[in-house]
Structure 1
């Protein structure tokens, strides 16, 4: 925020000097200085002749007043399980007969009365009629896309074999996880004594109200740190739902106890952003924050390495360079890993080997379903943040055909309120032409483009310039899907949106709406006659799924499988796809329970009693 404010002042020919504190300000001759402080209101002094102007006076923003919030709204997982919104042809899992396609409800007569049945279609056009009273045997299939879901053959052992194989793999996974858990429990780590007064003072510096899920995650993390067993917790939540604050509380607890903290991020740009955020948050505390990235000169880098070794740096943010053997910490206590799935296999293995030595906190936006969380309770420590922040609005979404007037109006409205615009065009070969066309439409706007085939440093510079508001419309490919957080960007226009998958559309749309401003998404498509049926369904779904958190759950079944792969190992994804996610979770939960009791799980044991249906 300091960088953005400096840029804004420079545009008005005001060039402030950055000062670390009040003493430094009093000792310099510059007439205008800028610093980070907790002061909320400005003041004017006559002796000496000094005016203090705060950020809230310039932007009109103020800290949120904390008040109790009642947790409300629908349970996202209940919606996923709800079979009433199934579309015709959607894959479902019957516990006794396997994966088939839902073909609708039918009324059948027998014994003098009518009854309603679900019609399921299996391989070879075989049909199965399931009475509504037996709905407990059926669950929505998640595990692969609807087109790639397996369809089993009735009256064969295909389903029982698939189920047995999945049960055996679930047993192996459970045994491996329990082994890791036992080894961690045997190691005596650092149990932190957290000074309550100092911690509460730091927590009060958070200008927003914590969501219930956030409070729960913070409580989990602090309990882990107070325990002598090394922490290995995953905090999972949609982008902008407050994972970073959870990490900051953990970092404060550890750094304030005299240990060092390393924050590991996948890209240089994210390192810069985290460094800025942590520097601002820790500005009033004697905790020294540093950043190791390509933006450092060799001299700066060597100085930081020396300070890490001597313990003069308490908290360091960096990319995988932090894992290099040349970097020696004086007393490392906590590693915070942001988006671990974006690191390479070698770096993941290095982290795995460190898990028993230091506390590790992993942050991920890849959804990890609560069903999996339940089945791993007590083995893998998970905290899920599914409640959106109070000031987050749902994103107004419109599906429309290419219309130059609409595009111009959407951009101009955003720019007039001081915001920025993402224009997504996922074709590298025509991106410059689109950029040129937009410049013709809006000559007053500052427009640049970015794509993954640009030299890395050039791409980083463009993204950094957009973050610092040096231009206001970014034309980009899908590389923005997991980029830096730009809170001033609150309109996104997605060209040829019919070519993107539902989960990808949801994630890209999530690049906007990260502040209290209302956000807008425009999905540009060809005429309906030129789109596939699947594309129409995806666009209708994304347009209707505006509820925060619920949309996240519904739109990301394919990502849930990736989330499961991250927790259990990538080789599990195949088995999950074969039997569906719900059943795999049940098999895993059963295996964990049996092994905890010292029993051997029986893969042949029936999961539920089947219901015989006499269709006469």
Structure 2
């Protein structure tokens, strides 16, 4: 489909007298030009017309008071060939917030820097932007550094420069203003670039420059050059300093009399002293909005629309229909009668509303209105990066005093890392003051103890038998649990279900019409669900993922597949509010297709409910979405093929029993908003069909978090800031006794705000009415306890204030904070604490943890981990939770995986089951450094990985590699993060490869003595004829190791 040729859509208007006169005035700069009566639908088109006039000004500022409108304009201007850059409003932060928001500040300075350098650009900003503080332009131009691939640069000089400018040297870059050095690699996160940079040197030559992801620490993209300011600029100037004399300033306003801009665009009538009336220029909604599904289902309205297209065509109008993607366009063409495709030109892009320009005989129509989808603009922050945070509590995140589990010796307390004579050791303290020193290369045997909350367990006794008994009991219980899971799975496999047909053309078009880019996890979950549905065995799949990570789209696609295969679909939700939200989402997504989607809950009238029940029985209702009302005995389906259960853990035991009864032989897809740990997912993979979605969608913006003493000025400021941008606010106060008092205080502080109160002592019906009102925008503030459900998506609520944040655990705070920031809008979480807590007593540790959490560093990962453990508890049930408490979560998962593999007859491979010795191998760095010419070194040199915790992490990764594929992935990751691998590291990896290959074919030990290769398997050595050991031809240690690997590979 052709991209818009902007000239074709702009030129006809530019030649009309209404427009030509004004455009000439704009070009000459002769006074103020007003475009009045301009409907918001046509604003981006008018702007494009002004900016592409034959004599355009090279630089333009477009001023609009609403951040949402600016985002919409940026998206719609692209349709007309104009690239505009957003200048975010300054985030000054609320009182007491020292660093308001590094991400927003970085994006702002980046935009200003572009303005300083650019000869041609279009900037979208607020009307008062020129008065806002900003770095002086000359300050941005000084202290800059330019890096180019292949250029010469002394790395030590750059390190000195970074230190002098206030950058902090760290073992791992985790935030702006930090740098890390590892061999020939320098990682740095400058103040004002979107992603941190990894610069790899070969001596003094820059060999490569890569952007990398903070969470995974892996490179994301190669770049040929990078430029950034070394200094963190002071705000000693104003944005007006970036305004040049010939810049064009255009303001969009509802009050033209207050504007000083060169060009004013307004929806109001012209003021008599400024301009003639322009009301003939643009009209909106030429045929009125369609509701979702009407265009497909109401033939009369569709015919009227096609007749209008035919009239415009007959009268020589130029008509365009703007589609979000190819799938939408293909479906639209299918719905039109033959020959009518010549009536319009299809365009690809973003357009929220339709408009006409009668004087130019131009009609620009939006598919969002035709299909009844009132979508938000799909602009995302220029610096939003996909973060798939690995919530893995490795020893990097274990601090002195934390509880750890050694798989052989039990639960102890970590007391640090010490350097022994020739290697480092982890120190673990046990009961009665006993301690254990674990060599660093056995770090994989030690993991952080994670239970299920509650009190800490007792430390194990070193050398006692109690731990062995505890572990044996856990192993037996886990084996029973795994056997039960596999039995249930086997029983379900014998049931005969319905095999849905392969994807149809409609399915393909439907998937193409999705307005966002699917994440890899989401695509995998969709693929797995569809494969299950096409099988004759009934599906029983669990999809786990955080709120807002795209589980609903997985359910929508499964439902659409069910319907197009001729089956009915039931969607069960725990609450009416969630059911209504799903109903709206499903209707909008399927509005292009003749699918009847009904809602069944207690807010429906008796006649509506009767019609739905009748439609389910006669098959005229394709999809029904409802609460447990769907489980009532009066509900009968004509041909139910799929049930989707959202938040299963929130239904009662009776409801769950009813699920088993009703859904035995149909496909069942269960959604859970509590993420589960990857280790548990891997352990259960063979026993339960599960899909996990760990990757946030690309428009999920990190929530800016502030910790501050309770201050009513802060509260007023935060609420007013949100209301000013048209948003809503959560205020969390977790005490029902005093909630009405807090309501009265909020009403005094922000009298203009509408407030709703919700808490757990309300009747269920009353609480649901409160939630429904807030979701529908009937209030500005929801004052509530933690009872407010997490599954509900309120994209307009983007500020949350949490009173007495010190009373919540990190996992609670993480989940509460996750309720905002879902619509691509910048979101704010403000944690309010009693003033005295910041200065006194044991509370300091708590505050430190919360502050650490705000940085999205390791605290965030631990919070995520704790939350996942709860998900694990929900999934596994009470008995298994007791085993987790006894032996810790990591060991539980390892044993569960072994049990599942064993019961399925799969031979578990553990690299440490095969030992390796060679008389030439030197595994201790100290011994090798004494005589470097002797033997083959195989270890992680301290000079290569200086930070001990990084070394511990590296040893764990090495021990966890299960096969050659994982080992190769590890080598790529290490090369990326740490640069060229030194010889000792390469040799250690070769030894690991040999042990993996040997374990895979059941070899217990490999030893090289002189030229002899001694391989022990099945209780005996492998001999050649005449009881001779195989001999190696090579004589150099490195080549001998390589030859041994080749021989084992051939076994």
- TM (norm. structure 2) is 0.51
SS at 1:329 equivalent: coil
Match of 1:505 in 2: 813
Which of 386, 390, 400 is 1:88 aligned to? Answer: 400
Could you report, residue by residue, the CA deviation over 1:423-461 in whole angstroms, capped at 9, with x for unpaired residues?
111111111111111111112222222112123222222
User: Does the CA contact (< 8 Å) of 1:234 and 1:382 recur in 2?
Assistant: yes
SS at 2:903 equivalent: helix
SS at 1:429 equivalent: coil
2: distance between equivalents of 1:17 and 1:221? 32
What is the deviation of 1:533? 4.8
Match of 1:475 in 2: 783
User: Does the CA contact (< 8 Å) of 1:490 and 1:520 recur in 2?
Assistant: yes
1: distance between equivalents of 2:374 and 2:580? 23
1: distance between equivalents of 2:424 and 2:867? 34
What is the deviation of 1:523? 0.4
1: distance between equivalents of 2:379 and 2:639? 37
Could you report, residue by residue, the CA deviation over 1:350-401 in whole angstroms, capped at 9, with x for unpaired residues?
2234554010101111122221222222321111111111111111111111
SS at 2:395 equivalent: coil
Which of 502, 524, 537 is 1:194 aligned to? Answer: 502
2: distance between equivalents of 1:395 and 1:323? 39
Match of 1:177 in 2: 485
What is the deviation of 1:204? 2.2
1: distance between equivalents of 2:704 and 2:777? 23
CA pair 265-202 structure 1, distance change in 2 beyond 3 A: same
Could you report, residue by residue, the CA deviation over 1:186-229 in whole angstroms, capped at 9, with x for unpaired residues?
22211111343211211122111101111111111111111111
Moved more, 97-106 or 526-535: 526-535
Larger-Rg structure: 2
Could you report, residue by residue, the CA deviation over 1:393-428 in whole angstroms, capped at 9, with x for unpaired residues?
111111111122222221111111111111111111
Match of 1:97 in 2: 409
2: distance between equivalents of 1:74 and 1:54? 33
SS at 1:576 equivalent: helix
Match of 1:542 in 2: 853
1: distance between equivalents of 2:872 and 2:475? 16
Match of 2:830 in 1: 522
CA pair 483-176 structure 1, distance change in 2 beyond 3 A: closer
User: Does the CA contact (< 8 Å) of 2:643 and 2:663 recur in 1?
Assistant: no
What is the deviation of 1:293? 0.5
Which of 446, 460, 475 is 1:167 aligned to? Answer: 475
CA pair 241-424 structure 1, distance change in 2 beyond 3 A: same
Which of 720, 733, 744 is 1:412 aligned to? Answer: 720
Match of 1:76 in 2: 390
CA pair 211-56 structure 1, distance change in 2 beyond 3 A: farther
2: distance between equivalents of 1:364 and 1:61? 26
What is the deviation of 1:43? 3.6
What is the deviation of 1:566? 3.8
Match of 1:62 in 2: 377
What is the deviation of 1:509? 0.5
SS at 1:438 equivalent: helix
User: Runs of 4+ in structure 1 displaced over 6 angstroms?
Assistant: 14-17, 45-60, 69-72, 607-610
Match of 2:643 in 1: 335
1:275 aligns with 2:590: no
User: Does the CA contact (< 8 Å) of 1:481 and 1:508 recur in 2?
Assistant: no
Could you report, residue by residue, the CA deviation over 1:273-305 in whole angstroms, capped at 9, with x for unpaired residues?
111111111122111111111101223222211
Could you report, residue by residue, the CA deviation over 1:309-328 in whole angstroms, capped at 9, with x for unpaired residues?
11111101111221223211
Moved more, 192-201 or 275-284: 192-201
What is the deviation of 1:516? 0.8
SS at 1:129 equivalent: strand
Could you report, residue by residue, the CA deviation over 1:137-168 in whole angstroms, capped at 9, with x for unpaired residues?
10111223384234222221111011101110
What is the deviation of 1:476? 1.0
User: Does the CA contact (< 8 Å) of 1:561 and 1:573 recur in 2?
Assistant: no
2: distance between equivalents of 1:483 and 1:233? 19
1: distance between equivalents of 2:464 and 2:715? 56
Match of 2:616 in 1: 308
1: distance between equivalents of 2:822 and 2:789? 14
Match of 1:378 in 2: 686
User: Does the CA contact (< 8 Å) of 2:389 and 2:695 recur in 1?
Assistant: no
User: Does the CA contact (< 8 Å) of 1:449 and 1:475 recur in 2?
Assistant: yes
2: distance between equivalents of 1:546 and 1:268? 37
SS at 2:737 equivalent: helix
What is the deviation of 1:265? 0.7
Listed as ranges, the matches of 1:216-255 within 5 Å are 216-255=524-563
Listed as ranges, the matches of 1:459-608 within 5 Å are 459-526=767-834, 527-528=837-838, 529=840, 532-545=843-856, 551=860, 554-597=862-905
2: distance between equivalents of 1:242 and 1:53? 25
Q: C-alpha root-mean-square deviation of aligned residues, in Å?
A: 3.5
User: Does the CA contact (< 8 Å) of 1:122 and 1:153 recur in 2?
Assistant: yes
User: Does the CA contact (< 8 Å) of 2:385 and 2:698 recur in 1?
Assistant: no
Match of 2:176 in 1: none
SS at 2:706 equivalent: strand
User: Does the CA contact (< 8 Å) of 1:368 and 1:564 recur in 2?
Assistant: yes
Listed as ranges, the matches of 1:143-158 within 5 Å are 143-145=451-453, 147-158=455-466
Match of 1:6 in 2: none
CA pair 223-64 structure 1, distance change in 2 beyond 3 A: farther
SS at 1:594 equivalent: helix
2: distance between equivalents of 1:272 and 1:463? 11
Alignment length, in residue pairs? 574
Which of 405, 424, 427 is 1:119 aligned to? Answer: 427
Could you report, residue by residue, the CA deviation over 1:17-43 in whole angstroms, capped at 9, with x for unpaired residues?
968346565899xxxxxxxx9795514
User: Does the CA contact (< 8 Å) of 2:403 and 2:448 recur in 1?
Assistant: yes
1: distance between equivalents of 2:638 and 2:769? 33
Could you report, residue by residue, the CA deviation over 1:247-282 in whole angstroms, capped at 9, with x for unpaired residues?
000000001111010101111111111111111111
Unaligned runs of 5+ in 1: 1-13, 29-36, 611-616
User: Does the CA contact (< 8 Å) of 2:521 and 2:693 recur in 1?
Assistant: yes
SS at 1:84 equivalent: helix
What is the deviation of 1:106? 3.1
Match of 1:256 in 2: 564
2: distance between equivalents of 1:446 and 1:49? 43
What is the deviation of 1:567? 3.5
Match of 1:214 in 2: 522
Which of 700, 703, 706 is 1:398 aligned to? Answer: 706
2: distance between equivalents of 1:393 and 1:500? 23
SS at 1:296 equivalent: coil
